[in-house]
Amino acid sequence: EMGIEHAYIELGGFRIGKTDSLFSTFTDYSSGVLNDGLVPYGPFATLQIAYTYTGANGFSAAIALEQGDEDEGEFASGITEDYAPYVVGGVSLTQGWGKIGVVAGYDSWEQEVAVKGRLDVNITDTASVFVMAAWDSGGNSGPNLSDGANFYAPWGGDWAVWGGTAIKFNEKATFNAEVGYDDFDNFSIAANIAYDLVPGFTITPEIAYVDNFDIDDSDAWGVNVRFQRTF
């Protein structure tokens, strides 16, 4: 089965078309690991009309009307069936020390709100850390389609938190890590080293671990290796 992930027109801060939800992109997704979002932090594919303002002082603000997407599967409520679209808005500030931002999404079909905040800190020129937290007004319903989950809150329960780091060892190697945990005791950790073998060719081995502290024998390990050629 084939599909189009991104197809949009963007001009002067305005964007219209299909792409990832502003709720996920405005807070810069999560980290540099391959398996980011093992504890999910937001939806992706959606039809969207959006505008982003970027000021010279590092301040940014954005707003979007979104439709959702039926391919989000069991972790979201899919396409809205209401007359009103989903609404997303966010503000952020980027300075030399890092970045801070908050974004909120309103699911007009479920009539629920999700809010997510993120803080990035540049410890040195080659090392940074982030922490991100989210809350869902309808989180007790559970993260699946049959329970009518908020499109903007695919994590389990009312809240979720994430943290991570990126450390550039040298010109070729960068270490990335991400930890996630939510209200339903879902836990995840993933770490990798992205190594630029030659300019334009990156090899990234990664290890990941997931568990649910409330369910016996639910832990699992995984290993991935990505070979990426950029032309």
pLDDT of 70: 65
Residue range(s) defining the domain that contains residue 109: 7-163
Domain membership of residue 183 (yes or no) is: no
pLDDT of 40: 96
pLDDT of 74: 44
pLDDT of 138: 82
Domain membership of residue 132 (yes or no) is: yes
Total of domains in the chain: 1
Domain membership of residue 91 (yes or no) is: yes
> Rounded to an integer, what distance in angstroms lies between the CA atom of residue 70 and that of residue 47?
11
Token pair recorded at residue 154: 């695919």
Instruction: Spell out the SS3 assignment of 141-152.
Output: HCCCHHHCCCCC
Global pTM reads 0.90
Domain membership of residue 88 (yes or no) is: yes
Q: Which residues pair with 48 in a beta bridge?
A: 17, 66
> Rounded to an integer, what distance in angstroms lies between the CA atom of residue 117 and that of residue 49?
22
The radius of gyration of the chain's CA atoms, rounded to the nearest angstrom, is 18
pLDDT of 68: 85
> Rounded to an integer, what distance in angstroms lies between the CA atom of residue 39 and that of residue 129?
18
Domain membership of residue 230 (yes or no) is: no
Taking 50 as the pLDDT cut, the residues of the chain under it are 72-76, 142-146
pLDDT of 69: 79
pLDDT of 199: 93
